[in-house]
Structure 1
Amino acid sequence: MRSGAVASRSATVAAAQRSIALGSKSFAAASRLFDRETRERAWLLYAWCRACDDIADGQNHGGDLTRVTDPQARLAEITAKTETALAGEVVGDPPFDALRIVAAETNMPRRFARDLIAGFALDAEDWRPRSEGDLYRYCYHVAGVVGCMMAVVMGVSPDDDATLDRACDLGMAFQLANIARDIEEDDRGGRCYLPVEWLVEMDFPPGQHMKPPFRKRLAVLSRRLADRAAAFEESARHGAPALPFRSAWAVLSAAAIYGAIGQKVAERGEHAWDHRVTTSTGEKVRFILRGLIEARTRVVRYPPTERPATLWQRPR
């Protein structure tokens, strides 16, 4: 679909479906578990998130990270098109019109989209986390807030802070697992999301954390990331009883699929970056079946509990 064209909702949904099929097999598989209305809205939201990420990083539906020479111009493009979409105006660019549609249909708070763009702004400024708290702040902006947006897509009220906190936790878990898996890829792209304090603690020479002599030390930090991801994932699961059955099934399945990525990174130790960590089709099927059982028993399996105070506190 050419940029500048005004597309129907069905055409925009179809383009969004193609985007998720190309960009994330895990999310595409989990999204199939939603009812039709929620599924289409999830695709629309994904298409916008994917396009913003691709513009910011010079990618095509993910792929290899590249060093862009005009990050501020890219950020300005993302911001302008997003604000046009949030204003309810036709953008003429399918992923941004996808946001226009899903935001209008769900009464999506505008601050969520702006919080995500703030994460792209951090990357555009060549920002690096100094502390674990800084790492969590970044994870919120690039993934935790997407969890909040997905919850709204599933019918959660924008005022239901308790459920939105759990949804945010799942996004945080996904991003921490991604960071652990992608340390080598990020390094090639000139980025590092390991907190400076962690690197100092492990006595890494500046910029040398991917060098072979330091892989055992790096494995310690990747396991730490996986452990943090698991804690956020466990908290997120206690939000499942607030969701409709099919949405809970999708969420619990996705949690297991991404949780497995973090676990595999930790288990592989210093060899975690020899080959990209993925989950097989068979594993996805197994996690989806397990998610079905958990969704059916979610009220008993995940009773109301206090969210751990040590986890990230979502901005209000």
Structure 2
Amino acid sequence: MIETRAALVESARASIARGSKSFAAASKLFAPVVRERAWLLYAWCRACDDLVDGQDHGHDRTIVTDAQAQVDRVRALSDMALDGQATGEPAFDALGVVARETGLPRRFVHDVIDGFQLDADDWRPRSENDLYRYCYHVAGAVGCLMAVVMGVSPDDDATLDRACDLGLAFQLANIARDIDEDDRVARCYLPDEWLAEMDMPPGQHMKPPFRPRLAVLARRLATRAQLHEDSAAIGTKALSFRSAWAVLAAAGIYGDIARAVAARGERAWDHRVTTSKAAKLGWIARAAVQAARRQSLPDTPRDHRLWTRPR
């Protein structure tokens, strides 16, 4: 059965409402057509992530025994959708709709899928550069896709770099928050070099004696996330007011996750860090002011010390 665009949008809306209250709140600030396309793109990302990571809308992660088969399925269905074929899977048909409507570059879609391949390969970062490469594939490339959804030209590398920065900031915050959750399914995204620097044996970083040292690394992740978040703010000058409003609200809401992890120190993983409804509303209000003033931001060149996406 081929679902109508309206049905796909409704399915995507339900997906983001269940999978991410932060992104769902920020998405409401987009102009209607951009909002729908953002939901459609999110539905694809969420479905792919759930298939490869054994999750249900980002929750209840389990160890996947057929990860490679799931990545192969994601790749095949995504290519079908990009080729204009109906897949029979709402989340993948959603990708097809938004790709046709906005001209999503296939290379960014493939870059995201390559991130799922890294997880299927049980890949672990050795260096900080490895960490950023992973963050690009699973989140930075999504930032580039979202920029195109918001009307940025696929050839506007300067703005795409800033959009990638926001994706990197989100993923660094995710990694800091989810260290314990990842450890429970035998995953670790902290670079081996960082663990060695802190004299933490592989696989032992969540043990109580190492919590103070782990807190140091969590603060490092939060600091790196803030640098990319600040860089991303400059890119909002290229967006419409409503798109800039949504992006800045999401940046603030999600940035609070990294900041809360850093502030909690070694107790950061006692309870999952979330942002309250009041905090979300606060960021929505602040982001409106930031968006209105975004053109007064200095035209500062992107910091050359920041990790840059592959061309």
TM-score between both structures, scaled by the size of structure 2: 0.99
Contact 1:64 1:185 in 2 (8 A): no
Q: What 5-or-longer segments of structure 2 have no aligned partner?
A: none
Deviations 1:48-72 (A, max 9, x none): 0000000001111010221111111
TM-score, length of structure 1 as denominator length: 0.98
The corresponding residue for 1:107 is 103
Which secondary structure state, in structure 1, belongs to the residue aligned with residue 231 of structure 2? helix
Distance 2:80 2:23 in 1: 27
What is the alpha-carbon distance in structure 2 between the residues aligned to residue 115 and residue 83 of structure 1?
13
Match runs of 1:259-274 below 5 Å: 259-274=255-270
Conserved? CA contact 1:156–1:243, under 8 Å: yes
1:202 aligns with 2:204: no
Stretches of 4+ aligned residues off by more than 3 angstroms: none
Query: Residue 31 of structure 1 contacts residue 39 of structure 1 at CA under 8 Å; is this kept in 2?
Result: yes
The whole-number CA distance in structure 1 between the counterparts of 2:161 and 2:219 is 24
- 2:283 is the alignment partner of 1:287: yes
* Equivalent pair of 1:51/1:61 in contact (CA under 8 Å): yes
Q: Corresponding residue for 1:43?
A: 39
The SS at the match of 1:239 is: helix
Q: Structure 2 CA distance, aligned partners of 1:178 and 1:103?
A: 27
Of 253, 272, 279, the residue aligned with 1:257 is 253
Q: 1:104-139 CA deviation, whole Å, 9 max, x = no partner?
A: 100010001100000000000000000000000000
CA distance in 1, matches of 2:198, 2:157: 37
Quote how far apart the aligned CAs of 1:303 are.
2.1
Q: Residue 13 of structure 2 corresponds to which residue in structure 1?
A: 17
Give me the whole-angstrom Cα distance separating, in 2, the residues matched to 1:218 and 1:293: 36
User: Counterpart of 2:62?
Assistant: 66
Corresponding residue number in structure 2 for 1:193: 189
Task: For 2:178 and 2:42, locate their aligned partners in 1 and report how far apart those are by CA, in whole Å.
Answer: 20
Match of 1:87 among 83, 86, 97: 83
Q: Supply the distance in 1 between the matched residues of 2:35 and 2:203 (Cα, whole angstroms).
A: 42
Match of residue 304 from structure 2: 309
1:220 is displaced (CA, Å) by 0.2
CA distance in 2, matches of 1:279, 1:311: 27
Aligned partner (choices 130, 136, 142) of residue 132 of structure 2: 136
Runs of 5+ unmatched residues, structure 1: none
Give the corresponding residue for 2:50: 54
Separation in structure 2 between the aligned mates of residue 180 and residue 253 of structure 1, nearest angstrom: 20
- The answer to whether structure 1 residue 238 and structure 2 residue 234 are counterparts is yes
CA shift at 1:206, angstroms?
Answer: 2.3
Q: Give me the identity figure in percent.
A: 67
Q: Aligned equivalents of 1:312 and 1:148: distance in 2?
A: 15
- Using the alignment, how far apart are the partners of 2:255 and 2:190 within structure 1? 19
- Output the CA distance in 1 between the equivalents of 2:72 and 2:134: 19
Name the structure 2 match of 1:28: 24
